[in-house]
Structures are given as C-alpha cells and as structure tokens.
C-alpha cells in the first residue's frame, strides 16, 4: 500500500462513526479543483510515504477510541493490495468506509464480494458529457456506470457525491447529475475547497468566483 497521509480523528468522514482517515497515494483522475492534489502522483513530490505497519500500529493503539476507518485518496482502488489491507483492518474489528471515483468496478466487486466495506462514497463529477473536462482525462464512462449500479445494488450503506465548482458546473448540470443517481440512493453535494486545489487558478485568490453562494447552493442540499 502506498499511503500518503493519515488523519487520526474525524467525525465527518465516515457518517455515524468516530474514524481515522487513511489517504492512499496515487489517482488516475486529474480534476483541476482537487483539494488533495499532493496525493495524485503515485510518488509524492515532497515528503515520504507512511509505512503500512505504522498505520496498523496506530489503529491497534486506538482500539476502543475509534470505531471506523475511512480509506480515501488519491484513488484507493488503484492499490494492488487494497483487499489485503482492508482485510487486516477488518480483523481489528473496525468498520470500513471506502471513497472512490468509480473507475475500477472490478475492484469494487471483489471488495464487496469479500465483505470488506461497510460504506461506499462514490464521486459523480459531472454529467457524463462533461466528465473529460472535469477529470482531465478521457473518462471511462462504461466503468463509471458499472460502479454506480454495483454500489446501488450492493445492499450496503452508500452515497454518491458531487463537488460543486463554478463555472465548471451549472444548476442545469446539477439537475442532470441528480437524474443519473440510482433510485433510492443518497446524493450529497460538497462545497468546493479552494485552498489546495490542483490547478492554481482554482485556489484562494479565485475562491469566490468558483464557489456557489449560499443562496445558490441551498436549494440543492436536500438528499
């Protein structure tokens, strides 16, 4: 496992749980507004990777204080040993949440079959026609659709979420995204965080230009 970060305590990353957050290193998307830009390359530009055993020592010490582990990134499903990593966390009696961009449905299917996740949050970046622009790559639409269906039919708790960034997404785009969400699934909007955006254009100096106002955002907050 290539681990680029560890948040020892979170009340917001895993709904209903007191959790640690493990950030995997490496992502196959290049979203210009990504607030974890340092986690995109497989090899970090600065700093060092966190040894996996150090993470497990931490989780062992926090038994009884934490009850969940959220695995985020980067894109966790790119890690070749993600299954064995989650299995070890499961053996420590932690509940597990997985964040994903949905690009690798075959990996998700394996994790679900092994009962290694309790909650999945998948990003829906944009209507599929805009995905290339929002992700900086040729979007794997077929894989994304497979992941959405797989998650919706899994029977485990899940949500689909969208980071709202102006001018990349309009209110019409949000409506289109909402129509893509499988029936019965929760859709959550996330406010854009400009401070560490991958593309400097989207950082603090332009934050007001790229963030929806409260009045614009409020009508879309119903899940």
Domain, as residue range, for 150 = 3-220
Q: What is the mean pLDDT of each run of 10 residues along the chain (223 residues)?
A: 97 96 97 90 82 98 97 97 98 98 99 98 97 95 98 97 88 93 93 80 60 50 42
pLDDT of residue 166: 77
pLDDT tens sequence across 70-93: 999 999 999 999 999 999 999 999
| CATH at 211 | 3.20.20.70
Q: Which residue has the tokens 């009045």?
A: 215
- Residue 35: strand, helix, or coil: coil
The 3-class secondary structure across 55-67, one letter per residue, is HHHHHHHCECCEC
CA max distance for the chain: 48
Q: What beta strand segments (E) does the chain contain?
A: 3-10, 19-24, 68-72, 95-100, 119-123, 157-164, 186-191
| Domains of the chain: total | 1
- Cα 73 versus chain centre, distance: 7
* Both structure tokens of 9: 């305590």
| Strands laid side by side in the 95-100 sheet | 3-10, 19-24, 68-72, 95-100, 119-123, 157-164, 186-191
* Both structure tokens of 195: 């401070």
Q: Which residue has the tokens 């992941």?
A: 147
pLDDT of residue 204: 63
CA distance 67 to 180: 32
pLDDT of residue 214: 46
């Amino acid at each position: 496992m290539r681990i680029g970060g560890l948040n020892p305590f979170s009340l917001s990353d895993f709904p209903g749980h007191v959790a640690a957050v493990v950030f995997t290193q490496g992502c196959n998307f290049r979203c210009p507004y990504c607030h974890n830009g340092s986690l995109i390359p497989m090899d970090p530009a600065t700093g060092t990777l966190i040894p996996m055993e150090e993470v497990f020592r931490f989780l062992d010490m926090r038994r009884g204080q934490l009850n969940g582990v959220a695995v985020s990134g980067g894109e966790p499903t790119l890690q070749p040993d993600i299954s064995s990593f989650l299995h070890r966390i499961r053996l420590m009696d932690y509940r597990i949440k997985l964040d994903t961009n949905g690009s690798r449905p075959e990996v998700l299917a394996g994790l679900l079959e092994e009962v290694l996740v309790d909650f999945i949050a998948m990003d829906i970046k944009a209507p599929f026609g805009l995905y290339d622009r929002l992700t900086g790559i040729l979007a794997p639409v077929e894989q994304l659709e497979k992941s959405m269906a797989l998650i919706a039919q899994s029977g485990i708790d899940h949500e689909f979420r969208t980071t709202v960034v102006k001018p990349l997404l309009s209110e019409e785009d949000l409506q289109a995204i909402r129509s893509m969400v499988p029936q019965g699934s929760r859709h959550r909007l996330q406010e854009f965080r400009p401070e560490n955006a991958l593309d400097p254009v989207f950082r603090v100096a332009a934050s007001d230009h790229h963030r929806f106002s409260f009045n614009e955002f409020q009508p879309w907050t119903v899940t």
